[in-house]
């Protein structure tokens, strides 16, 4: 069975949590595509290498780094994600993963619009900038006002980049998690997937 679930949305909207839950619930493989960009950003910064070279030489070890969930890694990801050659280098990897036998869930920012426009299910998970900044602050700490400023700056970068900007696919179902519990958001996503699963 080839069955792709594309879950897009801005930082800290809950798409990663929802994606992992959906993958577990339906026995699908899961790829956090943001981790690819985080790994490229961190690798390029740590080695002083060109981001395109870092993308072309990604290893499983790069994707297993403990520091990929930091605020710094997120900022680095957003900066390398605007480079068209980096996006191209990671495109085939993501598409191959999406069409693997047994089905897959991919979460990111351009899955439903660019990576897998033919995905059987497209979800766009969002929340207000204030709610997302608070969630990120709970995760990483620091100055709350600074975290909000960084969330807004990242939104601006992601939504206005020339190549594959963050936006919902035309036929994506939007899930606003601003006032939802994790359980409610997961249930909403699972209901959409269950309605489209073949037989």
Q: Name the residue ranges covered by the structural domains of the chain.
A: 4-193
**Looking at per-residue confidence, does 165 or 24 come out higher?**
24
What pTM did the predictor assign? 0.86
Q: What is the mean pLDDT of residues 68-81?
A: 88
Residue 39 — pLDDT band, cuts 50, 70, 90? very high
15 has binding-site annotation: yes
On whether 84 is known to bind a ligand per the annotation, the reply is no
DSSP 3-state of 194: helix
For the ranges 15-24, 31-40, 187-196, which has the lowest average pLDDT? 31-40
pLDDT reported for residue 70: 86
Length of the chain: 199
pLDDT digits over 101-157, tens only? 999 999 999 999 999 999 999 999 999 999 999 999 998 899 999 999 999 998 998
17 assigned binding-site residue: yes
Would you state the structure tokens that stand for residue 28, as one six-digit string?
A: 């699908």
d(CA 185, CA 165): 24
Q: Does the annotation flag 129 for ligand binding?
A: no
Distance of CA 21 to the CA centre of its chain: 14
39 carries a ligand binding annotation: no
Q: Is 10 annotated as a binding residue?
A: yes
Calpha distance 120→79 (Å, rounded): 30
Q: Determine phi and psi for 158, rounding to 5 degrees.
A: -70, -35
Superfamily covering domain 4-193: P-loop containing nucleotide triphosphate hydrolases (3.40.50.300)
Per-residue model confidence as pLDDT tens digits over 141-156:
999 999 999 999 989 9
């Amino acid at each position: 069975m080839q069955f792709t679930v594309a879950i897009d949305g801005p930082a800290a909207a809950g798409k990663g949590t929802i994606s992992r839950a959906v993958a577990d619930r339906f026995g699908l493989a899961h790829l956090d595509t943001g981790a690819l960009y985080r790994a490229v950003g961190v690798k390029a910064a740590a080695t002083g290498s060109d981001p395109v070279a870092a993308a072309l030489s990604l290893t499983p070890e790069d994707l297993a780094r403990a520091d990929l969930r930091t605020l710094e890694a997120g900022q680095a990801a957003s900066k390398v994600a605007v480079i068209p050659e980096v996006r191209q280098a990671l495109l085939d990897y993501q598409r191959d993963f999406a069409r693997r036998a047994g089905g897959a869930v991919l979460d990111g920012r351009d899955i439903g619009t660019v990576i897998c426009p033919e995905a059987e299910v497209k979800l766009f998970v969002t929340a207000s900038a204030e709610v997302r900044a608070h969630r990120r602050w709970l995760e990483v700490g620091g100055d709350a006002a600074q975290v909000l400023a960084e969330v807004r700056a990242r939104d601006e970068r992601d939504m206005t980049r020339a190549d594959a900007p963050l936006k919902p696919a035309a036929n994506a179902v939007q899930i606003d998690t601003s006032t939802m519990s994790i359980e409610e958001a997961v249930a909403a996503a699972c209901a959409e997937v269950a309605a489209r699963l073949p037989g």
